[in-house]
Amino acid sequence: MEKDMCGIVGLFLKNDALRPRLGGMLTDMLVAMTDRGPDSAGIAIYGEEGEGVKITVQSDTPETDFAGLAEALAAGTGAEVAMKAADTHAVLTLPEAAAPAALAALEARGLRIMGAGKAMEIYKEVGLPRDVAERFGIRAMGGSHGIGHTRMATESAVTTLGAHPFSTADDQCLVHNGSLSNHNQMRRKLAKKGVMTRTENDTEVGAAYISSRIAEGATLGEALEGTLEDLDGFFTFVTGTKTGFGVVRDPIACKPAVMAETPDYVAFASEYRAFADLPGIEAARVWEPEPATVYFWER
């Protein structure tokens, strides 16, 4: 009955008036989970959906790698490219048609692709949650929903790529508390179907599994149901899509989870502490999600 590792949080706004405050609310939730996961932190935030595709990239040497990056990408793809750099991450916005060429060009330049999508931006780094959130200016970001993770690594190395959230398809991401025991087998199964993963991390396999099910036509709810059949181990998953937010716990459910709902939002966290600063939490419906039960909200 140890307190077990990692902290996860999620927030899905129902009241659009709260959108400008999303980053601030998520930052407070994430920082409250610091002692569950002090080695790295990450956040996926679903902001305003624009015309183009947003690609989030990471570099260990941003000064050199991000200098002139937008111009180079524009020249290479013939498309207009806007760049917003924040510390080790940069978000490049470009027309959807240019995205495949841009992704290939970015990888060729040695940049790490954190994720891509119409709405989603992903920021994750090694360090204390408070510092990570500050470096990226998460507090000032608005949006409709977001998920976050504070990591205490047990399955793979403490690196930026090992941090959560994991994104394995456009506008889809996943955070996880637990450890999967059949991730190597599932990684091979997914590879046979052409679904490739970038790391040795078990959570990335969970994310890839959900993405592959959605690509095959499943709804978010059906994909989450599938994790109960096909994934083995301990997990509480929180997942985001462009319009949705979902939660599922394994049948043993020893990883902690608590949810809160008001007319304004649905919130998830590993512990109630993360809810303490949410507006109207005193009057919220607070409950523990049932084991082996899928919860999801779509707008």
What residues are labeled active site? 6
CB 180 within 8 A of CB 233: yes
274 binds other proteins (CB under 8 A): yes
291 binds other proteins (CB under 8 A): yes
CB 167 within 8 A of CB 122: yes
Q: Where are the alpha helices (DSSP H) in the chain?
A: 22-32, 62-65, 69-77, 99-108, 129-136, 183-192, 202-215, 220-230
Q: Using the rule CB under 8 A, give the single segment among 52-60, 141-149, 228-236, 272-280 that binds other proteins.
A: 272-280
Half-sphere exposure of 149 (CA within 13 A, CB side): 32
Residue with tokens 């959560």: 164
271 binds other proteins (CB under 8 A): yes
Among 95, 105, 230, 272, interactor with other proteins by CB under 8 A: 272
Peptide bond into 38 cis (omega under 30): no
Q: Using the rule CB under 8 A, give the single segment among 57-65, 178-186, 240-248, 275-283 that binds other proteins.
A: 275-283
Among 62, 256, 268, 296, interactor with other proteins by CB under 8 A: 256
DSSP structural state of residue 87: T
- Least distance to other proteins from the beta carbon of 38, Å? 16
Q: Using the rule CB under 8 A, give the single segment among 203-211, 227-235, 240-248, 281-289 that binds other proteins.
A: 281-289
Residue nearer to other proteins on the CB measure, 131 or 277: 277
75 binds other proteins (CB under 8 A): no
- Least distance to other proteins from the beta carbon of 294, Å? 17
228 binds other proteins (CB under 8 A): no
Residue with tokens 């990684």: 187
Rg of the chain (C-alpha set): 18
